Structure 1
């Protein structure tokens, strides 16, 4: 009898490339590459090297300089690396030139995010949105790879003779590809318009309940908080973009009902095509009455992440909504305690959590510090949400305020509503 050998799945290896520019210092570039490594890990690749270069601006033909590209080429060849991932969006010209030099798969940050979105998409709505974003990214990057159908019989067609009747067969494969993709984009946009109408009807059918949306950077713990508050089973994982489809739960505290939704996480350099494609998903944020902005306080760049989320909210016309901050993962917060004789300036890396809390409380009283994992300050969070929802409900239905008593922690419950 023959023995069966189960071979291990070969993990793709990758190297990352980023730039240090007058607008992005070395510390910021390192942070971006760390995030890019997390993205690569989420996509299933193993990062084995990182390259950076100081330039005034990116090289319009090869992103990095010629010498750096040769250095990357030698490393890729010596270590048998399967792909190179660049931290910025590349043009068709850059991709073509870099591929020619490196002879391996080339990805940029946008194509990597799109790949993760394609992997994470579960519902028909998410799959349609991702496919649309992929085609919109692909269209301007099509290159003349196929010319076998090209016909130029009788000249270029600019005169009166020669090409009459041959313009159809004269269409190049590139032009055919562009036309096919253009038709597919038109079809997907129509499909999304249909999905938008269905979602609008579903939202309308929910009645006039107060809507609360969890927003924030990707991987800050929104889904964990959603599961805890709504007593649901939303997928939560320590990966980027674990949630793509908006999940909505009806939550009841005492006799006060409201809708709580978990939305897709934001990220730096989020592709414009993705924002456009996920319009119907982000509508849940646009139509919310209250936003709960979840922040991972243990992340060294959480303040930058707050700015990214605020900018994204502004981009979708939702920056003026009532919002309060929830600083999550206080159990993971760490800092470097300075020696008493250390005279170097104090930075945020040296602040204790208590000092940081006092700083933020001084700037913004409407925030709370919690650990969803350790369930620290969760009752205070629930009370805060209840008070804000009750306030909004009374504003909408001023004659019903007597129906809603003060918060009772024993009365928190949730149930699933119709999925979108």
Structure 2
């Protein structure tokens, strides 16, 4: 018998269903929601999508979710599985109760994975840092404990997925619950150690008086491409949902000479599992502490307004202060038609707090940097100015500090020491004078 890793290495043929309840309060188009669900499925290398459809539901059936007629229709799509030609997995783009999952798996003879389970799988596949791995595993266990329909021992692996797609069979509920609770306790202890280490790093970084600029936005809005364009970094940037999971930070210099720390964060998404919002709160602390937030929007997406609303809701849920300065970055203008693009640029020109760019081509990047510079200066009430500093030969420590801050524009020796031309903020000048 092959081991579980070998099993999971094989592509899993999936059929994607988006249940449409016809709820007038729902902002999203069901067809576009289905497209996003398929994109989520494609984000996992192990999955190939064999088909997808929107399922209109007047009233969900308590124990089966779908009506008898729809279940029989889906079963026709799945019946070739015995010959190795059909789907082995049904992805349901929405919440599925444990009872519904058991009943559908029994009737269809395939595995069922809901939206939360799929997103957890993607996060597990993408986590790079030790903290990210632990947070995903903890979130997965919290989710799994409410279901108790899969074995959990695969979670001891750090990577390679969580096993919702191809994990082993059911285990006894009480044994599962006890084992999951013990595993969660161990993970929390490990996570506490990692968080303490990260807190030390953050304190060390806090000694450097650089403002933090955080990139946020809906997944696949182009944050990582913009991050790379602004910093010259090489963060993974793909046309793929959740291409970036673990946060990345780089220092960059603005046109005025001010240095800032730019933070790239995980992309947001509608109906983000609450387990992940809680587990990744620490990862998103850079957003909570940011002096400026750049909300990157894919302005070419047909539901860009709805996506912006989802991002706003998540920021509110994280507790981001309403007074924090925010710039909307309308990205991907290169993907717009000429008329739409011209109209958008006119709107950009007369709307404060908005900057249209193409992170791919670089159009609008210089203007964005100027906007970031001016907004930060206003938000921090800490304008940049030029000064001349005279230091003696014995002032080596203070001279070194100025160079560490990156504020020296030129220097020349004098009879008693050195004269430096510096460009700095009032805050930096006050810190220097106190040395």
Give the TM-score category using the shorter length: 0.7 to 0.9
**What's the TM-score once normalised by structure 2's chain length?**
0.76
Equivalence for 2:355: 368
CA contact (8 A) 2:41 2:118 kept: yes
In the alignment, the residues of structure 2 paired with residue 319 and residue 302 of structure 1 have an alpha-carbon distance, to the nearest angstrom, of: 23
Greater mean deviation of Cα atoms: 33-42 or 135-144: 135-144
- 1:186 — aligned with what? 185
Seen in structure 2, the aligned counterparts of structure 1 residues 388 and 365 have a Cα distance that, compared at 3 Å, is closer
- 2:271 maps to 1:269: yes
Distance 2:148 2:51 in 1: 29
**Higher relative contact order (CA closer than 8 Å, sequence separation 6+):** 1
Residue 111 of structure 1 corresponds to which residue in structure 2? 117
Q: Which deviates the most, 321-330 or 14-23?
A: 14-23
1:76 CA drift (Å): 0.8
* 1:20-419 equivalent positions in 2, closer than 5 A: 20-23=20-23, 28-44=29-45, 45-78=47-80, 80-143=86-149, 173-206=172-205, 207=207, 208-253=209-254, 255-318=257-320, 320=322, 321-334=324-337, 352-359=340-347, 364-393=351-380, 395=381, 397=382, 401-402=385-386
**Per-residue deviation, residues 138-167 of structure 1 (Å, max 9, x unmatched):** 11111499xxxxxxxxxxxxxxxxxxxxxx
CA contact (8 A) 1:11 1:46 kept: yes
Aligned pair count?
A: 353
- Whole-angstrom CA distance in 2 between matches of 1:96 and 1:186: 28
Distance change (3 Å), C-alpha of 1:334 and 1:112: farther
How far does residue 358 in structure 1 lie from its aligned partner after superposition?
3.9
Shift in CA distance, 90/334, structure 1 to aligned 2, threshold 3 Å? farther
RMSD over equivalenced CA pairs, Å: 2.5
Give 1:361 shift.
5.8
Query: Hey, what does 1:154 align to over in structure 2?
Result: none
Q: Residue 191 of structure 1: CA displacement?
A: 2.6
Structure 1: how far apart are the matches of 2:236 and 2:357?
20
Q: Look up the match of 1:345.
A: none
Deviation, structure 1 residue 352 = 1.9
Q: Specify the SS of the correspondent of 1:56.
A: coil
What SS is found at the alignment partner of 2:176?
Answer: helix
CA contact (8 A) 1:17 1:84 kept: yes
Partners of 1:140 and 1:280 in 2: how far apart?
Answer: 23
Alpha-carbon shift at residue 354 of structure 1 (Å): 2.4
* TM-score when normalising by structure 1: 0.78
Which blocks of at least 5 consecutive residues in structure 1 are unaligned? 1-8, 146-171, 336-350, 406-410, 412-420
Describe the superposition over 1:376-420 as per-residue Cα deviations: whole angstroms up to 9, x where unpaired. Answer: 111111111222233344x2x57x644699xxxxx9xxxxxxxxx
